[in-house]
Structures are given as structure tokens and as C-alpha cells.
Structure 1
């Protein structure tokens, strides 16, 4: 037993036999090559269209697969023409289908007939596949010349200058790669230095006022100043509205009639007296109860 998981008999000679298939007298494709001496190879073939069997008149749908006898029967220029001979699975009758490289299709040769499902564009108001200019009017030489002139003018006035600009721009970018890289790195270092200074300033402000580190401070620019001014104006306007509302409520309270005020004061006094008398009576009752309890304990 070898590493390739194949058994080599003791009398096997690689120089004499070449391979295990030749040693056993078998083909590498196995049973598929049982007719290889006749130029026939057994292969799996799938019907490219619907057909009617010529023996049992049964319908066989597109996509049904058969073990077909594949054979080369000719060539169209350098493209081979193959024949596929299949046995009907319903009646065991043979039918044959060939390739047609000239028209890029398959054709039924014998034993069956193809179901006609092709759509003819000419019958439906269209053009044939290879004849799209069948009903066009004859070419006008003056119109052709005018189109050619317009195309030449567009090429000269629009396309050529644009191509020159693109070429000049490409040469500018690729003329001195080292110098371009140096400028980019210099600009990057300057921006990094500015960002580092701003970060140090933010850290100092956070440490001075005890702000959390994750707090993001707003940059002091025109946009932030304008936004802060708008917020300040909004808060000031709200404060004025609240102050005016308080003054209005105070004026309304001060304008209550005196009779209503005196009535309310009298009612409050009466309620306070009644509550005072009630509290005094409850206090006397508690004193008497405590005295009686104390006397009973002495006896």
C-alpha cells in the first residue's frame, strides 16, 4: 500500500506498464470508454429543447438528461461537430441530435422531432437577427458628409483640447514624485502641529476647571461665536418673558377687591379660633383622663 492509497502488485513495472490502468487493461474513464475504439464516448447529455419522440410519440421536456453516445462526425472550419445518440426512457427508441456551429444551435437528425417554439421577429413587426437594416432608407451622401464634418469639428474643438489638458495634468502630477511627496509631508506636519497645540490648550482648560477628559470642547471660531450669541439672545428673551409674566401676576393679585380680602381674612380668623378651641378641649380631656388613671393606681 502506497501513500497515494493505491495498491501496486509485486509484478508491476512502471517502465513496462506505465500506469495501473494499462497494467489492468482498463481505460482511465472506466465504463464510459467501453466504445472508445469506435470513437464513441459515453457522456451525460441534457436536451436543449422540447422534442417529440419519433417512436412512441411521447413528449420529452427540455432539460431531461440521458447517457448519450458522443461522437465527432465532422468540423465547421476549426470547430468540431458532435453527434449525441440517446435512448428514449419510455420506449427504448434511439434518437440523434447534432451540434450546428454555423447557426450556433442544436438540430434533431433522426428518431425525434423538435417542438417548434421559435419566435420569428419578422412576423411580429421586427427585424431578423442578422438583418437589422433591411427596411432603412438609402444612405444620403450629403447627410453622411455632414455627420463626418460635425464629428471632425467636435474632435478638434472639444476632445483634443480636453485630452491635452488631462495629459498636462498627468505630467504635472508625475513629473517629480519626490517633490510632491515632500510638499504633502510638510503640510501634514504643519497640520499635526496645529492640532497638537489645540489639544494641549483643551487639556489645560479641562484641568483648570475640573472638566471630564471625554468632554469635547468647541473651537473658538466664527461659527461657534455666532451660535453662542444666538443662544445667549434666546436665553435673554426667555428671561424677559418670565419677568414680564411675574409682574403681570403680581399686578393681578394686588388688584383683588378689599371686601373679598376682608371676608377671606375673617374666615381665616374664625377657622383659627375654632381650631384653637377644639385643641383646648382635647387637652382638658386628656388631663382629666390622666388624673383619673393616676388616682385609681394609688388606691
Structure 2
């Protein structure tokens, strides 16, 4: 592993059958520095703390999940399962602590150098059953306690059996006629699909009418939004009419303030009104209304 991008001597390829690999040629192990204590039966591995502990040397708290380069070593067997020991150095001081596996109880045990924070959850105190009952076949010291435990176990089994019966009956009811249930679901799905399709078509028509973007999502109609839209439209209409009336009044004041015409006006078409100021005023008002009101064009 440490031979890549290195110099290859000429005799390496001549005696490649003798060496076999770059590691054996250079006297290195395939695991590199992790195997520096392999002659002692120790392999350097990455170990993660399975629980919270307090260091025995500096008395600092070390949280669960902190990782160390641990010295892994096999120290025994539980039947055919090996027992491993992980020796780690505290990152807050120079102290060492050791944690071993416990295959009998399927857990880890702090052997030395630290102490474990006890956070065990007892299932029996919360309505459950013991997960690892290693003393199940031992004779209890108190016969009454054994009787109570047996009674509680039987009650729990009865409750579990009742629940299983309910689940079985529900499953049989749902699976008795799958064709009818499937037809009912498909019918409901078709009805919802038709309603959704009609709504999408109506939304597309509105978008095409007002040149709205296709990605715009329209909100469903409801009485509150309709009333709000009507009020907004009426308010905008009133404001527009008020602005138009203000413009007309301003134009009327300006036309009234014009000086009277001097001399006869030739090449002018006679109108029903004999006053030229009134005819000019009417023409200006008509043109202004036609220009500002799009519905009169």
C-alpha cells in the first residue's frame, strides 16, 4: 500500500515471483502503520464510544460517539464468539482506558481507566419484557415473586393474542374481496381525476385570456376571495371615476379662463352652439374622455 508512486528497482521485476508484491519486497504490511503492533496481537482500529463515560485520569466527561484510534486485541472467547479489548488514549489527558465486548449480554463493558454513565432503560418497569434474561432458568429466591412474574407474563400474552386476533380479523376483512375494494378505489380516483382535469382546463382558459404565465398556480374560488375581489374592483372603479372628474373640472377651469376670440373665425363649421368658447370646451372634454376611457374608443 505504501509502494505506489515509488521507485521500482531493476531487480524487482526480475524476481517478481519471489517477492510477490511491493509490500513484501519493501518489508511493509498491507495495513501500513495500523499493523505496527501486529506481532503483539494488536491491530490499530477506529473505535467509537458506545456510551457516555468519565475519564478516570482527568475526570472529564467524554460523550457517546467520540472516536479513537484504539488498540484492538483478542483476549478470549465466549463459546465460539471472540472477546475483544479496545484500549484508547484520552484526548484530554495522557490517561488510557480499556473497553471490552461482552457477548454474553451483547454489550460493552468498561474494564479500567474510566467509568460508565448508567443510563439503562428497564423494559419491565415500562410494561415490556426483559430482552436478555440470563437468569430465566434459575430458581427464584421468592416463590411469590415468581408467581407474580408468571401471572404478569400470562396477562401480557393474553393482551398480545387479543391484539393479534384483531389484526387478523381486520386483514381478513380487507382481503376478503380485493376486486370490490380495488374497484371502489379506482372509481374514487377517476372522480377526483375528472374534477382536477376540469379545474385545470378552467385555469388554462383564464391564463390564456389574461396572458398569464403557465407556471402560475391559481387559487381555488371561495366566497371570501370573491367578495374581496369585488370590493377591490369597485374601489378601483371609484378611484378612476374620481380622477376623471377631477381632470374634467381642471380642464373646464382652464377653458373658462381663455381670452375671448378677436374677429370672425373663417373656414369653421357652424355648430348648434353659437358660443365658440362652449364648442371648444365640449370638443376638449370629448377628446379627453375618449383618450382616458378605453371603453369609449
Query: Structure 1 length as normaliser, TM-score?
Result: 0.43
Query: Structure 2 length as normaliser, TM-score?
Result: 0.43
Which protein shows a greater Rg?
1
Which structure carries more helix by proportion? 1
